[in-house]
Amino acid sequence: MRSLIIRCLLAGTVGVLACSNSAEEKFKQQQAGTLNASTSVKDLMKARNLSEADVEAALKTYTPTGKKDEYLLFASGGQSGQILVIGVPSMRLLKVIAVFTPEPWQGYGYGDESDKIVQSSTQMGHKLTWADVHHPALSETKGDYDGDYLFTNDKANGRIAVIDLKDFATKQIVVDPILMSNHGATFVTPNTDYVIEGSQYPAPLGREYEPLSTYKEKYRGLVMFWKFDRQKGRIDPDKSFGLELPPYTQDLADAGKLDSDGWAFVNSLNTEMATGGTLDGKPPIESGASQNDMDYMHIINWRKAEQLVAQGKAMTIAGMKVLPMSVTGPEGVLTLVGESKSPHGCDVTPDGKEIVVSGKLDTHATVYEFSKIKDLIAKGQFEGKDPYGLPILKFADTIRGQVELGLGPLHTQFDGKGNAYTSLFIESKVAKWSVKDLKLSEKISVHYNIGHLVAAEGDTVSPDGKYVVAMNKMSIDRFSNVGPLYPQNFQLIDVNGEKMRLLADMPIGIGEPHYAQMIKADKLKPLKVFTPGFNPYTGMKDPNAVEGGKERIDRHGNVVDVYMSAVRSHFTPDQIEVDQGDTVNLHITSVEQAEDQTHGFTVDMYNINLSLEPGKSENVSFKADVPGVFPFYCTEFCSALHLEMTGYLLVRPKK
C-alpha cells in the first residue's frame, strides 16, 4: 500500500515538473532588449565628442525602454490651450491633455459632450478656438499634491478648467463673467476648497463699456475664489465668490498653508494705474507702470471673506457674488503691503510661515514673515491707506529680510532641505539660496530667458527638491533651426547634490509654456480602460451606451438614432442609410476591454472625429444636410484588419 502511495506521489511530481512553463521563458527572451556593449564607452565619448559630465548627465536621465519616470510634469501648453504631460528625468512628452482647444486625436471638441465643454466657454458671442494657458495647479490635501485633479487657466479669456487625473480628461470649463483676463490662476487652497483666480488687466467689472478716462473710478481688478466640489469633481459657481480689487494689474498669487492657511497673497504691478496713450505723447504703459519704487502685495483673509459672503455682505455682479472694497478694507480681509517693483513671484514657503516675493526690476528676493503681517492687521497698525481706502502695512515691519540674487528674479520654489530656487530672467540663471540664512549659495546658467521654474513638489508643504525644470522662453542656439519661430526650452537641473547640474534640454514646439507642477508619479492612479459604456465627459455611464448584440438603428420621423458598437475590427452596424435633412445621432460604444486597444471614428466630409478608448461611449449629432456616400472608418491602426474597419453612411438626396 505504501509503495502505491509513493508511486502516486512520484507520478504527480513528475507530471508537474514536466509541465514547466517554458513558453514564458521563451517569450521573455524574445521581448528582452538586445543591447550589447559592443563599443567601449571611451570610444563612444570620443566619437560623439562627449565629456565625462555629459555622460554623467546621460546616465542620470537615460530611461531604458520599459522603465518609467519618477516624476510627472504637468506643464502649461501656452497658446496651444492644452496641458503637456512630461516624464522626469527622461523629459519625454507623454501626453498633450486637451483643455481649451479642440484636439482631434482625443476627439475632444468633436463629440456632443466634449464639444459642449469647449463651447460652454463661448465668450461675448465669440467662439474661442484657442487659449493662453499659464499656470496649472494640482489638487492638494493638507497642502500636499494628492494626484486627483488638475486645474489651469486661460489668461486671455478669463477661464478656468478642471481636469480629472483618473482619465486625464477635461471635465469642466468655467468662465468668470465679470473679468476679462486672468493671471493669478490657478492656485489652490491647501485642501482644494477653493481654486484662486486673480484677474490681470483691469476693466469694468461685468464687462461693461467705460472710457479709459474713468480708469481709476470704474476699472477694477478681481480675485475669484472658485469653490471646488471634490465629491462631484466640479467647480460650483454658486458657492464661489470674488473680491473687488483696485485697478492695479494684479499678477501671480499663492495660497497660504499651515500657519498661513486661510489666507492668500496676490501681487500687482501697475499701482501707478498707467493706461498709456502713446499717440497723445504720454508714456507707454511699460514706463508709466514702472514709476513707483514699490507695488503692492494684496493680503487676503479668504476664510473671513467666506464668512462675510455668508452674512450677505457681497454684491452681485453678472450673477456672481463679489465683496466690495468698502467691506473688505475695514474688515481686515484685504490689506496691502509694499513689494519690489514689477513683481512676478509671490511664493509661500513650505512651512507656511513666510512669503517670498521678487520684483523683476529689483535684484532681491524679499522674505515676509506671515506672523508679523497677521499681528499688524490684528492690531490695526497701518502705515496709511491707498486711494481706495485699503489699509497699507509698513513694508519694513513685515519682512524678515532680503537676499540679493541677481537680475530679474521672477519665481521661487523650494526643496526639502531649506533651499529656495529663484529664476533670474534677465541673467538667464537659476539662483539657489538658503531661506533661513538669506544667503545665495550658487547660480547656474540656463538657455535662455527663464520664466517660471518648478522643483519636484516644490510648492507643497513637503517639497522633494531633487529636480528643477527651468522653463526658458528662448532657445536661440540650442536646437536645429526650424524657422524663425523657435522652440521654447525646458531644461532639467539636478539639485540632489551640493552643486546644481544641468542635465538635459527638451524643446517645446507647441506653445509658450509658463508654469508647471511636478508630482511624484506614483501618486497618480489613472484608469487603464473605462468601465463599459462610460462617457468621460459626463463622468457617468452613458444612457445611450450599447452592449454587443444590442446594436440597432431607430428612426423617429426625421431623427435617426444609431446605437453602434466598435470592436476589432468592425463597427456594428456598418451600413447607415438616412435621408437628406435627417438629424443623425450616433451613439458609439467601444466594447473593447483590452488595455491600449483604442479605436477612432470618423465620417468623411462631416468633420466628425472621435476617439474610442476601451469601454468609452460617445455621442455625436449632426444634420445630414449634404447627400452622398460617406465612408466612415476607424482612425486608429487598431488591428491587422484596421483598414477593413469601415462602413458607409448613405445620405439619400431629397426627392
Smaller CB separation from another protein, 567 or 620 = 567
Cβ at position 485, least distance to another protein in Å: 39
Cβ at position 440, least distance to another protein in Å: 49
**Contact status: 6 vs another protein (CB under 8 A):** no
Cβ at position 28, least distance to another protein in Å: 9
Cβ at position 522, least distance to another protein in Å: 19
Alpha carbons 467 and 490: distance in angstroms, whole number: 12
Smaller CB separation from another protein, 584 or 645 = 645
Alpha carbons 73 and 95: distance in angstroms, whole number: 11
Smaller CB separation from another protein, 23 or 35 = 23
State CA 459 to chain mean position distance. 15
Determine contact, residues 365/358, Cβ cutoff 8 Å.
yes
- Looking only at the bridges linking them, the beta strands covering 583-590 and 559-567 are parallel
The span of 109-117, 135-143, 158-166, 638-646 binding another protein (CB under 8 A) equals 638-646
Q: Which of 190, 176, 191 is nearest to 240 (CA)?
A: 176
Long-range contacts of 479-486 (CB under 8 A, 24+ apart): 479/505, 479/507, 482/509
State CA 464 to chain mean position distance. 20
Q: What Rg do the C-alpha atoms of the chain give, in angstroms? A: 29
CA–CA distances in Å: residue 371 to residues 147, 295, 318, 620:
31, 21, 37, 56
Grid coordinates representing 593? 476591454
The span of 11-19, 300-308, 579-587, 601-609 binding another protein (CB under 8 A) equals 11-19
Size of the site for another protein (CB under 8 A): 24
The span of 17-25, 145-153, 230-238, 496-504 binding another protein (CB under 8 A) equals 17-25
The span of 5-13, 220-228, 254-262, 377-385 binding another protein (CB under 8 A) equals 5-13
The span of 143-151, 252-260, 557-565, 589-597 binding another protein (CB under 8 A) equals 589-597
Alpha carbons 536 and 117: distance in angstroms, whole number: 12
Cβ at position 9, least distance to another protein in Å: 8
Smaller CB separation from another protein, 568 or 652 = 568
**Contact status: 641 vs another protein (CB under 8 A):** yes
**Contact status: 594 vs another protein (CB under 8 A):** yes
Cβ at position 556, least distance to another protein in Å: 33
CA–CA distances in Å: residue 365 to residues 105, 259, 355:
44, 21, 10
| Interacting residue with another protein among 17, 19, 47, 279 (CB under 8 A) | 19
Smaller CB separation from another protein, 590 or 635 = 590
Smaller CB separation from another protein, 23 or 47 = 23
Applying the rule CB under 8 A, the residues between 21 and 40 that interact with another protein are 21-24, 26-27, 30-31
Number of residues that this document lists for the chain: 655
**Contact status: 5 vs another protein (CB under 8 A):** yes
- Cα 292–Cα 298–Cα 299 angle in degrees, nearest 5: 140
The DSSP element (H or E) to which 397 belongs, if any, is: helix 395-398
The count of other CB atoms within 10 Å of the CB of residue 234 is 17
- Give the strands of the sheet with 334-340, arranged side by side: 250-255, 263-268, 294-301, 334-340, 391-393, 384-385
Applying the rule CB under 8 A, the residues between 557 and 576 that interact with another protein are 567-569
Cβ at position 316, least distance to another protein in Å: 54
The span of 13-21, 112-120, 129-137, 274-282 binding another protein (CB under 8 A) equals 13-21
Alpha carbons 410 and 343: distance in angstroms, whole number: 7
Smaller CB separation from another protein, 434 or 639 = 639
- In 18-61, at which residue ranges do the beta strands (DSSP E only) sit? none
**Contact status: 3 vs another protein (CB under 8 A):** no
Smaller CB separation from another protein, 304 or 570 = 570
In the 8-state DSSP scheme, what is residue 616?
B
Q: Which of 293, 277, 258, 518 is nearest to 395 (CA)?
A: 293
The DSSP element (H or E) to which 47 belongs, if any, is: helix 41-48
Taking each continuous run of H as one helix and of E as one strand, the counts in the chain are 11, 45
Cβ at position 545, least distance to another protein in Å: 16
Smaller CB separation from another protein, 154 or 592 = 592
Cβ at position 569, least distance to another protein in Å: 8
* DSSP assignment of 145-197: EEEEEEEEEETTTTEEEEEETTTTEEEEEEE-SS-S-EEEEEEE-TTSSEEEE
DSSP 3-state of 5: helix
Cβ at position 645, least distance to another protein in Å: 11
| Interacting residue with another protein among 167, 339, 427, 592 (CB under 8 A) | 592
Cβ at position 593, least distance to another protein in Å: 5
Largest CA distance in the chain: 115
| Interacting residue with another protein among 17, 18, 35, 47 (CB under 8 A) | 18
**Contact status: 17 vs another protein (CB under 8 A):** no
The span of 12-20, 71-79, 112-120, 189-197 binding another protein (CB under 8 A) equals 12-20
Angle between helices 41-48 and 52-61 (to 10 degrees): 110
- Bond into 614 cis (ω within 30): no
The span of 117-125, 140-148, 206-214, 592-600 binding another protein (CB under 8 A) equals 592-600
The span of 4-12, 359-367, 444-452, 476-484 binding another protein (CB under 8 A) equals 4-12
Cβ at position 193, least distance to another protein in Å: 41
Applying the rule CB under 8 A, the residues between 114 and 173 that interact with another protein are none
Determine contact, residues 302/189, Cβ cutoff 8 Å.
yes
Q: Which of 135, 173, 169 is nearest to 149 (CA)?
A: 169
Smaller CB separation from another protein, 203 or 591 = 591
Cβ at position 30, least distance to another protein in Å: 8
Termini Cα distance of the chain: 91
Smaller CB separation from another protein, 24 or 280 = 24
Smaller CB separation from another protein, 167 or 592 = 592
Q: Which of 591, 594, 542, 545 is nearest to 571 (CA)?
A: 591
Smaller CB separation from another protein, 346 or 634 = 634
Smaller CB separation from another protein, 8 or 58 = 8
**Contact status: 49 vs another protein (CB under 8 A):** no
Determine contact, residues 208/173, Cβ cutoff 8 Å.
no
At residue 642, what are phi and psi to the nearest 5 degrees? -60, -45
Smaller CB separation from another protein, 23 or 378 = 23
The footprint of another protein (CB under 8 A) covers: 1, 4-5, 8, 12, 18-19, 21-24, 26-27, 30-31, 567-569, 592-594, 640-641, 644
